[in-house]
Amino acid sequence: MDYGLAGKAAIVTGAAGGIGLACYRALVGEGASVVVADLDGTAAIARAGELGTTCVGVGADVANADDAERLVETAVSTFGRLDVLVTCAGVFHATPFDTITADEWDGVQAVNLKGTFLVAQAALRVMIPRGTGRIVTVASLAGQTGGIGAGASYAASKAGVVALTKSIARLAGPHGINANCVNPGLIETPMLDGWPQEALEQTIAATPLGRLGTPQEVADTVVWLASDRASFVHGAHVDVNGGLYTN
């Protein structure tokens, strides 16, 4: 199937991590060029070099407005365009509700929610005048159900990402830009290192498909949403969770 992504330019945030890395590789596999962005700039630059394409690695903190702008400027100055934004940067916390500090709360919202907003806002400044673009955000099952293994700060930030994505869809749709959200369930990445083993086993047992998902399975959905094959999918959230939660 031709996804129509050949020659397109994308930004993937959190691209040194499990899901972001799979998204970056999958987009390159479809012929796109990618700004590989991560807080870990060394890893981002190393990853960008591994596929021998025109990709560029950038160290950036998505919670910083100047860094968000710099990612978009990098896409435009390197590739002359920005067609796709995928926001995978995120931090996980499982702190029990009564011990979440105000600093932890602010830190989680800053990366997961404000970071998604800042990069999307910067991207739309370029996409809207061109009248085309695709934004795919990564929220979480936790934002739909409340935290199972995750803490309230994380779950609330991810529910915010869903609402933010729907708001972007309302604003940007009339300008020819699609915006959608992916809600992963439990996906086998370093982020699960923060999960208590017992909670992990119970959650897998409660998953109808009986296993964890892979980063590639999330990336396959992201690529579809970023492509011409999902041209009338808009303001949606797509669950990639093995049936753990259906709505």
Q: Which is nearer to ligand NAD, 68 or 169 (CB)?
A: 68
Work out how close the CB of 3 gets to ligand NAD at its nearest, in angstroms, rounded to a whole number: 21
Q: Are the CB atoms for 179 and 215 separated by under 8 Å?
A: no
Work out how close the CB of 163 gets to ligand NAD at its nearest, in angstroms, rounded to a whole number: 15
Q: Which is nearer to ligand NAD, 190 or 243 (CB)?
A: 190
Residues lying near ligand NAD in the complex (CB under 6 A) are found at 13-14, 16-20, 38-40, 60-63, 88-92, 111, 115, 138, 140-141, 184, 186-187, 189-192
Give kind and range of the element (H or E) at residue 9. strand 9-13
Please identify which of the residues 3, 24, 154, 245 carries the catalytic annotation.
Answer: 154
Work out how close the CB of 95 gets to ligand NAD at its nearest, in angstroms, rounded to a whole number: 15
Work out how close the CB of 132 gets to ligand NAD at its nearest, in angstroms, rounded to a whole number: 25
Is-catalytic flag, 3?
no
Q: Which is nearer to ligand NAD, 11 or 177 (CB)?
A: 11
Contacts of 4 (CB under 8 A, 6+ apart): 227, 228, 229
**Exposed (0-12), middle (13-18) or buried (19+): which is 100, by Cβ within 10 Å?**
middle
Q: Which is nearer to ligand NAD, 70 or 234 (CB)?
A: 70
Q: Rounded distance, CA 232 to CA 104, Å?
A: 38
Task: Look at residues 111, 29, 115, 18 and name the one whose alpha carbon lies nearest to residue 71.
Answer: 115
Q: What's the residue count for the chain?
A: 247
Give catalytic residue positions: 154
